[in-house]
Structure 1
């Protein structure tokens, strides 16, 4: 971005980059068959936009303009590489693919109506030839544009490990020539689990950012919901409906989760009048349908837990024993320390269950994988506070504060800590 570009144009291009860049990238991967070349073409396209739009004006369809600009920049890059290394087989393969998608008279990329390449890209990134963790990491990085650090935090995995996982996954897709397409119907069920897992992590990053200045990333949450609706049309399975229900029920609480300054509000203090009843109704209906099918899984059970919260008129009226029972069922389907933590908190919220729940949380914190998870320490702090042990509550809040990477969450913990001191 040069200094000669007007502020208005720069702001416009930056806004379009935020809204469209991953869609443009997905289409470029489709056209070029290469992640790294598509990434380079994406940035070249936005550079061209900064250079041309001030004089020529904003195109009618910025997305299609950027795709075309990126493709032609990539073709130029391939031709340059060809001159330097005419025997490079990778360059030859990419060149052949670009030739296939650049036939004379082509008009598909001038049309405002384009196929959803992001859904194709998700299935490519979730191909069974890739390791499960690599599938999720690659999709979060390439489809949604999350940084390696954000993904590593979501995985509770060191960033260098995640970076290598992503590099290896991209190389695997390139070398194995994994197709960029939505699988045939008979292949979809086997591929579904990884795709749902990816979309759920995308939503989680939007609903509660792993790091940064904002607690929410509304673009990611909205994108995850949009992708799940598309997937439900493609494959109307109960667990797809369950995941959609889970996200809608979480999203229904978004208006009450932060105040006007963007500060977090605990569930106990949220104004339930602000919850979106239309989303709650849709979510609860989807949960009931999925449960009645008898073919539901972990997402439907999590959605059922969210439905219990949504149906409680006040925090005090929450049916905690029912939530504990649902967590018991969830653990039988998909055991994880995070689910165990949430179950322990629910037990603590039941009448007479505080000490038992606290002991379960403390036992979980003895596990190595939970020791760097700030929410586990925050949970212990809150339960110690409720139990009247302010010394231990303070120590756990301090540890949670050290591990937390999201600024609004840090300030929330600081307020809890300050309340103990006062």
Structure 2
């Protein structure tokens, strides 16, 4: 249990390393022959799970004061790939595991075992791998090797498997032609493509990211790579600055992370923002209701909901259906838990409607969802009596230092 008292924040923090970028960089480095150095790493639970999995696939990983050294190109050591609670790791690594002529069981724990993975089965079978799931849920059993070729992928639930497939197919001998339909979270696919090119591998998407042409026989090149600051984690701190004081977050550069969209939402709500080359400053103004489409950046829902609670009028956030299969049924749990604090919040179909009002505070149960725990902490700042958060340790999934960063800003 952790209690966050009401109060203003002021000061500056460094953004944590991006979980999404770190996981992709670790996989690319593991697929490269030779030694890569990943600087500004994050050691959140999901990143550590990804490092453990690529080590089981034969990579060697060493932590140093400079960062993480990944020696890629090894042979698989184990038959079980444990992804912890990381859906990104599980869906991406499935395609990578299919490169090997070996049978793997890809598993995890907690809520991950209830998250859908059925979208991976048919594409991998079309490419020659054997693949099965437990009625669309983990664990996944895969035996490769897969080959390149023509394949269709459903991107309606998640883009993570597509990202993994795009990373794996260039290593096949054959060329590939990947057709994608109903793709959500397009920006994460662009992020994957950009990172791949930094490691020497090219793919050719069409303008709508509906078709990808991939030359086979490519190889990843070992290199040094710096992980960007994490917009999804920083979004909570930026919202805190908007609703209760002033904050600067360093090491936040413009880039391809979709959660950069938090800046648009803050400006729509009337917060004062100043964006530098690698820093963002936010402080509050007369916050007003806003409308925002979070379909392609669903991780922003929790901080946006807290922002809306502090805005005058009715705010509408679109894309709530994307939250069904997160660490919790995030839309309903978010409405339930913020409701305990006095929020006026409803989920109607694909949208969330929030009428701003002063929150009373109280106690929340994040249901093991790191982003709901962080939302509760930010909601406390402008509440009457603060917020008690049960099971607050779940923030280690993406932002282990969150509470320390927040409390450092409250002490200034």
Q: Determine which structure has more spread, i.e. the larger CA radius of gyration.
A: 1
- TM-score in terms of structure 2 length: 0.36
TM-score if structure 1 supplies the norm length?
Answer: 0.36
Q: Which has the higher strand share?
A: 2
Greater relative contact order (Cα < 8 A, sep 6+): 2
